[in-house]
Amino acid sequence: MRSLAAVLLALAGCNPDPGDPEEGVEYRDGITSDYETGERGSLKISEIFWSGSVQDDGTWDASDVFIEIRNEGTRPMDISRWRLVLEGETEKDFRLPQLERDVEVGEHVFFAAKTTGCFPSPDGVIEGLEFPFGGAFYLSLQDVDEHIIDSAGDRGRARPAYSGGYDLLVSRSMERVEMMFGANGDEPHAWHYYTPAPADVPNNDRVLEGCRTRTLASPGRPNSPDYSGAFASGSLE
């Protein structure tokens, strides 16, 4: 018994309490630190206008694009300096600009490539924002500590954009089906192209008036209804 006790004491001496781990996931609250981190799925990439705007006179601008984000969480969030990582035919890394306010629960905010096109009043500008025209892409939204919050597009980067596009007459955005507990952004049935909203509920008021006939999108507003029936219809049971 004494020899066994001695062995146990020796083993204990060789394996001291390691204490708290030095590495781990840390979350910022935006109050005690400069920026705020999020939780996966709390914010969604809700609309991507990748195909360029078209003015009412038919002028197409392939560089006039935007991305929209919706807060589906339970509290306002500061998404300043969060990352957008684009993979596929175009490989780029973007930073969301510094915002002066939180994104409220249920609110849509959008970030355009510029303010001189059909989207003159975005919530922020992402210089250099671009998408491959009609090509495959995979876009991930990450917080300041590079936690993946949401994604959109083909994870395998083999298929083209799930919806939207320019047909030489109009350009439509790629909109996410707005359903609670909706599909992941890398699933094609979670997306549809923009369809006109009812006249009494306009959702294109943040598109320049001289572009609304041929630039079909809902930047900073709830997405248009999905009439495909592929995913938005039916119950949640």
In this predicted structure, what is the pLDDT of residue 123? 98
For the stretch 213-231, pLDDT in tens is: 999 999 999 998 876 544 4
How far apart (Å, rounded) are the C-alpha atoms in residues 65 and 79? 20
For residue 116, the SS3 value is coil
For residue 127, the model assigns a pLDDT of 92
Q: Cβ(230)–Cβ(189) under 8 Å?
A: yes
Q: Residues in the chain with pLDDT < 70? A: 1-34, 179-183, 227-237
CATH superfamily ID and name for 36-216: Lamin Tail domain (2.60.40.1260)
**Which uninterrupted H or E stretch holds 26?**
none
> In terms of C-beta density within 10 A (0-12 exposed, 13-18 middle, 19 or more buried), how is residue 16 classed?
exposed
DSSP string, 119-160: --S-SEE-TT----TTS-EEEEEE-TT--EEEEEE-TTS-S-
Domain boundaries, the chain: 36-216
Residue 234: what pLDDT? 35
Write down the pLDDT at residue 91: 93
Residue 229: per-residue pLDDT: 45
pLDDT at 228: 53
